[in-house]
C-alpha cells in the first residue's frame, strides 16, 4: 500500500521560502509510471494544483505560481520536495502531496494516493 | 481551462438520487476525475477518465460525459456520502485545475 507523508515547518514568515518534503513509502518513486504532485487548499476553499515532478527530474508547474515554485526529487530517499519563495499570507494553506497516474500520451489521469496534508501558516 | 460545478451546495436525504454537474470552458475529451473530500481529510478519488470507477468505490457512484459537460451521480445517498465533491480536469497541459466544489449536506 502506497503512503505519502508531508513534513516541514508549519509556520513561515512573510517573504521567506516555504519548504516541504513528501516521503513515499510502499512504492518507489524511481519505478516510473507516475508523476508526483503538490496541491494546496486555502482554508475553507477549493483545491489548487501547484505542480508535479517525474522521477527523472522533469517538472511542470501551474503557470500562476511558476515564478516562485521549485519541485525537486531525491530518489535515494524516495522523497520529493516543494519550495515556494517570497511567501505572503495568501500562501497560507493545507499542502498535499499526491501520486499522479498518467496515460500513454503522458497526460495525467488522476491522483490516486494523497498525503494527509500539512497546514502551513504564513505570519510574522 | 476553467471548471464550473453546479450546484455549489445541495441538500438531500438518505436514499435520494443526486447529480452534480461539471462544465469545462473548453473540450477536455474524457480527462476528468471526481473526488470526495470530508472535513480535515485529503480528497479521495472516486471516478477517473470521466466514467471509470476507482477500485473500492461503491457502485452507487457513477460518472458520465465527455468534451465539456460531465456529471457525477450518486444513485442512493448513504450517510457517509455527505461531503464536498470536486471535479478535476487533466487535459490542459501542463496545468491541472479543479472545480470550485459542491457541498452535499443532509436535509
Residues in chain B within 8 Å Cβ distance of A108:
31, 90, 96
The residues pairing with A78 across neighbouring beta strands, listed in sequence order, are none
**Tell me, what's the pLDDT at A108?**
86
In this structure, what C-alpha cell is assigned to residue A117?
A: 496534508
pLDDT in tens, A89-102: 999 999 999 999 98
A47 contacts in chain B (CB < 8 Å): 43, 86, 88, 98, 101
A36 contacts in chain B (CB < 8 Å): none
Query: What length does chain B have?
Result: 107
- Is the model's pLDDT at B94 over the cut of 90? no
Q: What is the Cα–Cα distance from B50 to B37, expressed in whole angstroms?
A: 18
What whole-number distance in Å separates Cα of residue B98 and Cα of residue B86?
7
Kindly report, residue by residue over A19-42, the tens digit of the pLDDT: 999 999 999 999 888 999 999 999
Preceding omega of B61 cis (within 30 degrees of 0): no
User: Rounded CA gap, A12 and A89, in Å?
Assistant: 10
Q: Which residue of A lies nearest to B31 if distances are taken between CA atoms?
A: A109
| β A118-122/A11-12 pair status | parallel
Residue of A nearest to B87 (CA): A47
Band of residue B2 on the pLDDT scale cut at 50, 70, 90: very high
Using a CB-CB cut-off of 8 Å, the residues of chain B touching A110 are: 33, 45, 48-49, 54, 88, 90
**B94 at the A interface (CB within 8 A)?**
yes
pLDDT higher than threshold 70 for residue B93: no
pLDDT at A7 over 90: yes
Residue B5 · residue B101 · CB < 8 Å = yes
CB atoms within 10 A of CB B87: 29
Digit-coded pLDDT (tens) for B23-54:
999 999 999 999 999 999 999 999 999 999 99
Say if the Cβ atoms of B48 and A63 lie within 8 Å: no
- Given this model, what pLDDT does residue B60 score? 97
Rounded to a whole number of angstroms, the distance from the CA of A110 to the nearest CA of chain B is: 6
Could you tell me which residues of chain A have a Cβ less than 8 Å from any Cβ in chain B?
Answer: 37, 46-49, 60-63, 96, 98, 101, 107-112, 114-117
Q: What percent of chain B has pLDDT over 70?
A: 98
- CA atoms within 13 A of residue B90's CA, in its CB half-sphere: 25
Q: How far B57 CA lies from chain A's nearest CA (Å)?
A: 12
Label residue A108 exposed, middle or buried (CB < 10 Å: 0-12, 13-18, 19+). Answer: buried
C-alpha distances out from residue A66 to A11, A43, A69, B3, B40, Å: 22, 22, 5, 21, 27
pLDDT in tens, B54-89: 999 999 999 999 999 999 999 999 999 999 999 999
What count of other Cβ atoms lies within 10 Å of the Cβ of residue B95? 17
| Nearest Cα residue in chain B from A105 | B91
- Contacting B residues, span 18-37, partner chain A, CB-CB under 8 Å: 31, 33, 35
- Whether residue B92 is predicted with pLDDT greater than 90 in this model: the reply is no
Would you place residue B18 in the very low, low, confident or very high pLDDT band (cuts 50, 70, 90)?
very high
Amino acid at each position: 500500500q502506497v503512503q505519502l507523508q508531508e513534513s516541514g515547518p508549519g509556520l513561515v514568515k512573510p517573504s521567506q521560502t516555504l519548504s516541504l518534503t513528501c516521503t513515499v513509502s510502499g512504492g518507489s518513486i524511481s519505478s516510473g509510471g507516475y508523476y508526483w504532485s503538490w496541491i494546496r487548499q486555502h482554508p475553507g476553499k477549493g483545491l489548487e494544483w501547484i505542480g508535479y515532478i517525474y522521477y527523472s527530474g522533469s517538472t511542470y508547474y501551474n503557470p500562476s505560481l511558476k515564478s516562485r515554485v521549485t519541485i525537486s526529487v531525491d530518489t535515494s530517499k524516495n522523497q520529493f520536495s516543494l519550495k515556494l519563495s517570497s511567501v505572503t499570507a495568501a500562501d497560507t494553506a493545507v499542502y498535499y502531496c499526491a501520486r499522479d497516474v498518467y496515460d500513454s500520451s503522458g497526460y495525467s489521469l488522476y491522483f490516486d494516493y494523497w498525503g494527509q496534508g500539512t497546514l502551513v501558516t504564513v505570519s510574522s | 481551462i476553467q471548471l464550473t460545478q453546479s450546484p455549489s451546495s445541495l441538500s438531500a436525504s438518505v436514499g435520494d438520487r443526486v447529480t452534480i454537474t461539471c462544465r469545462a470552458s473548453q473540450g477536455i475529451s474524457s480527462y476528468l476525475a471526481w473526488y470526495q473530500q470530508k472535513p480535515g481529510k485529503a480528497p479521495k478519488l472516486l471516478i477517473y477518465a470521466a466514467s471509470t470507477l476507482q477500485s473500492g468505490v461503491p457502485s452507487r457512484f457513477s460518472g458520465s460525459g465527455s468534451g465539456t459537460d460531465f456529471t457525477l451521480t450518486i444513485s442512493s445517498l448513504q450517510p457517509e456520502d455527505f461531503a464536498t465533491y470536486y471535479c478535476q480536469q487533466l487535459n490542459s497541459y501542463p496545468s491541472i485545475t479543479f472545480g470550485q466544489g459542491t457541498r452535499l449536506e443532509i436535509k
